[in-house]
Structure 1
Amino acid sequence: MNSLGAAGRQSQHTVRFDWGSSGARAVAEGVDVAVVVDVLSFCTTLSVAADRGTVVLPCPPSASDAPTYAAQRQAVLAVDRHRAGPGQVSLSPGSLRRADPIDRLVLPSPNGSALSIELASLATTVVGACLRNAVAVGDWIAREHDAEIATIAVVAAGERWPDDSLRPAVEDLWGAGAVLAALEDHDWPGLSPEAAMAADAYRLIAGREASHLRASASGAELIELGFGEDIDVAAEVGSSTVVPLLSDRGFVVAP
């Protein structure tokens, strides 16, 4: 069934939710605010960077000129998580916390980073959200936009199967749902059934985020690979009040 008509785009609703690149093209074109959610780990690392005042430049990992791109912008290029040595920054949020202060960081990621770039071509404003700052993102949207006219798209990045197809990742459903639940707490109208479902999914696990993250497929994989620390950081629910806003300079702290 072709879902690119008005119904598939959820265009009858002002607050929408979908997955990945195809979902972004369906629900985020022309919206006032698009929220990218990649809990493990792009948006969590992004929130840690924003807390430290670091400007993050999104970059897909397939970009062959990433080193040149970083050098031209006098930015540090994050290395592959599995190849990071002592003091090097990677997609792992813990590596950023241990690093010396960084002014600008190029952060490659096949999901959240690539999706951020795509959303920038579709929406007026793009912000990054995870469990650490979901309430802050919801509060910022409610403070800076008119609930009667603003259109919002929350897009979960998901992960990739070996054939490069989208694997919906439950941690991103929870992260997106946390943003949408925060909007509901502001009595924000117009949520699509898909958006309301995501909010309900988060409310079901609220207060138990850490254990659910560790038990999820993505969490279990990170633990097996020795990156359990990433889950600990991702589970710092509500610890950040900073909203990363994508600008011409990269992700900066929203006013």
Structure 2
Amino acid sequence: MVAGCLRNATAVGRWLARHDYGTAQRPVVVIAAGERWPDGSLRPALEDLLGAGAIIDALESRGVGPLSPEAAAARGCFVQTADVVSAVAAGSSGRELTRSGFADDVAIATELDAGATVPVLTDGAFDDSTDETGPLPNQWHRPSRLPGDVT
């Protein structure tokens, strides 16, 4: 299992493709995790759908496919969203976080390709592998640097 989001989508896509995932022998399943409402029911999250779409887009750009209809739809949501930052901020999670004083968290969460860390589940814990294939497209233009980011 690999953990991905908007912040590391290209790195995750490159890592998966480099390790031959997305082939008939090693298929990939990308899951938009979502959240839970206070009553425990599933709360779909726009930011997770867009993150899944960004990872699928990164995979497809490396020739991984064919995409399932669900994967193509998630990718389409990401590709067709002109302003991911504004979309996430306007979504239910973004509004809730902003009202609670965490607008900066929304901005940080939507920094596309801000890092190259690829968390890989190994022996029950995530190991912070790094995508070492080169700089990411937006890496040098990001507004901030967070502890633990690998550049």
TM-score (norm 2): 0.80
Q: Given the alignment of the two structures, is residue 157 of structure 1 paired with residue 33 of structure 2, yes or no?
A: yes
Q: What is the CA RMSD across the aligned residues, in angstroms?
A: 1.5
Distance 1:240 1:152 in 2: 22
Residue in structure 2 matched with residue 173 of structure 1 by the alignment: 49
User: Which stretches of structure 1, 4 residues or longer, exceed 4 Å deviation after superposition?
Assistant: none
Distance 1:170 1:237 in 2: 15
Residue in structure 2 matched with residue 195 of structure 1 by the alignment: 71
| Aligned partner of 1:184 among 46, 52, 60 | 60
Distance 1:240 1:197 in 2: 25
| Aligned partner of 1:222 among 91, 94, 97 | 97
Count of aligned pairs: 129
Distance 1:151 1:254 in 2: 20
Residue in structure 2 matched with residue 52 of structure 1 by the alignment: none
Residue in structure 2 matched with residue 139 of structure 1 by the alignment: 14
Structure 2 unaligned segments of length 5 or more: list them. Answer: 131-151
Distance 1:130 1:232 in 2: 13
Distance 2:46 2:57 in 1: 16
Q: How does 1:63-102 map to 2 (within 5 A)?
A: none
Larger Rg: 1
137-146 or 219-228, which deviates more: 137-146
Q: How does 1:84-123 map to 2 (within 5 A)?
A: none
Q: Given the alignment of the two structures, is residue 245 of structure 1 paired with residue 120 of structure 2, yes or no?
A: yes
Q: Point out the structure with the larger strand share.
A: 1
Distance 1:190 1:237 in 2: 24
Q: Offset at 1:248?
A: 1.9
Q: Which secondary structure does the structure 1 equivalent of 2:39 belong to? A: coil
Distance 1:181 1:145 in 2: 16
Q: Offset at 1:249?
A: 5.8
Distance 2:107 2:40 in 1: 27
Identity %: 47
1:226-246 CA distances to partner (integer Å, 9 max, x unpaired)? 111111111111111110111
Q: What one-letter code is carried by the residue in structure 2 that aligns with 1:233? A: I
Structure 1 unaligned segments of length 5 or more: list them. Answer: 1-125
Q: Given the alignment of the two structures, is residue 129 of structure 1 paired with residue 4 of structure 2, yes or no?
A: yes
Q: Offset at 1:163?
A: 2.2
Q: Which secondary structure does the structure 2 equivalent of 1:183 belong to? A: helix
Distance 2:9 2:92 in 1: 22
1:140-187 CA distances to partner (integer Å, 9 max, x unpaired)? 100011524211111111122232110111111000110001111112
Q: Which secondary structure does the structure 2 equivalent of 1:251 belong to? A: strand
Q: What one-letter code is carried by the residue in structure 2 that aligns with 1:185? A: S
1:178-224 CA distances to partner (integer Å, 9 max, x unpaired)? 00011111121132100110001000115x12111111110000000
